[in-house]
Structure 1
Amino acid sequence: MGSMKALLALLLATLYVASRVAFPLEEVEAVGLVHLEAEPLLLQARLLPGEPWLWVGPGRLAPLGQNPWIAEARLEKPRPGAARLWVRERRPFLPLPDGSALAEDGTLLPGGGPLAPGPRVEGKGPLPKEALLALARAYPEAQRLRYTPAGLWVDLPEGTLFAPEPGLLLEYAQAVRPKGEVYLYAWGVSVRP
């Protein structure tokens, strides 16, 4: 019985060593990248040539979850000795004054400001992410969105809109807008040409 256990232990040790040597990772690629570079991501996920292919699993992607630019990452093993890191990046949407950007899902993307196509965002106080994203979608022609504790402004080519809360601006997005400054309140609308 003791020799059977020793034989089984020897067999398992041999299989373990063989699995680390017999199928090394020879080919590694990262696909789906737009703004990120492959090499640092592969290094972070420990997807390097020479690693044991059999031991490369989805657990290696955990460190990539800390990167705000990565919306989704998957690991594919198309054949023995090959691994593919598939990445879906978040897209910058609203440029912020500090050079970062808000992604379409509200995630803060460091350095994404120059890549963001949306209107410029300026403001003081806590960043109202959801309100800014909703306003940018409701007013695609907006040139600038501003926020303060007093309310929000939407700068359009034909004028400026102000409301103390985003809901009023969202309701007004469907209305015919006069030129000039428009102030929206729960009790009415004030227009200054």
Structure 2
Amino acid sequence: MRTILALLLLATLYVASLVLFPVEKVEVVGLRHLKPEDLLAKARLHPGDPWLWVLPQRLAPLQKDPWIAETRLEKPRPGAVRLYVRERKPLLPLPGGDALSEDGVVLPGAGPLAPGPKVEGKGPLPKEDLLKLARAYPKAKALRYTPAGFWVVLDQSTLFAPEVRFLLEYAQVERPSASRVYLYSWGVSVRP
């Protein structure tokens, strides 16, 4: 009998929590490219949901989205829920319309939003190396990678090196004007 009464009490409290404290307002903060309704659908967070049962576990599907770097859930007052989102920023446009973010994550469909140099290449995507080159050569028009090495296409010249470290070192020195520059461990080859 006590078990039945305890179960009835728990069921009554659960139903009361659904009715007494519904979510009245859901606010999404920090979006630049994503749509709030898409995020709320992924998190299964809607007005009318029980406010007491809106827990941080609802953010798990959002944390799997490559566009989202960080999420946080707040309940500033009864009936109100605030979802903070920090989006990743696209940096390098990749072939096929995707982009590489500033922290090395591939963002689907972000190519047109990426301000950096165009990336072309063959083989596995060397994310860290491309990010280093983009930072070292902010005025580059294109970055290319092949099994033979890396190319940096600038306005007036094209640089090649079999390893990224040579290009990074070269970015810090005064460059001669040449149309093609080849960087190797033994020296620099310049073509006018």
Q: Shorter chain as normaliser: what TM range?
A: over 0.9
Deviation, 1:141, is: 1.2
Using the alignment, how far apart are the partners of 1:13 and 1:125 within structure 2? 58
Residue of structure 2 in register with 1:80 after alignment: 78
Aligned equivalents of 1:133 and 1:183: distance in 2? 20
Give the corresponding residue for 1:135: 133
* TM-score of the two chains, using structure 1 as the length reference: 0.95
* Residue number in structure 2 paired with 1:187: 186
- Render the CA deviation track for 1:38-91: whole Å, top value 9, x for unaligned: 001101101111110000010000011121000001111111111111100000
Helix, strand or coil for the counterpart of 1:78?
strand
TM-score (norm 2): 0.96
State the identity as a percent: 71
RMSD: 1.1
Gaps of 5+ in 1: none
CA distance in 2, matches of 1:116, 1:71: 17
SS of corresponding position for 1:77:
strand
Q: Segments of 4+ in structure 1 off by > 4 A?
A: none
Aligned length in residues: 191
Aligned residue type for 1:21: V
1:112-167 deviation digits (Å, cap 9, x = unpaired): 11100101111111111110000000111111111111100001123111000101
The separation in 2 between residues aligned to 1:112 and 1:121, in whole angstroms, is 13
Counterparts in 2 of 1:29-108, with a 5 A limit?
29-108=27-106
Unmatched 5+ stretches in structure 2: none
Q: 1:9 and 2:4 equivalent?
A: no
Q: Could you list the per-position Cα deviations for residues 25-50 of structure 1 after superposition, in whole angstroms to 9, with x for gaps in the alignment? A: 11112111000000011011011111
Give distance in 2, aligned partners of 1:145 and 1:13.
62
2:172 to 166, 171, 174: 174
DSSP 3-state at the match of 2:82: strand
SS of 1:147's partner is strand
Secondary structure of the structure 1 residue equivalent to 2:138: coil
Aligned residue for 1:61, secondary structure, equals helix
Matched residue SS, 1:15: helix
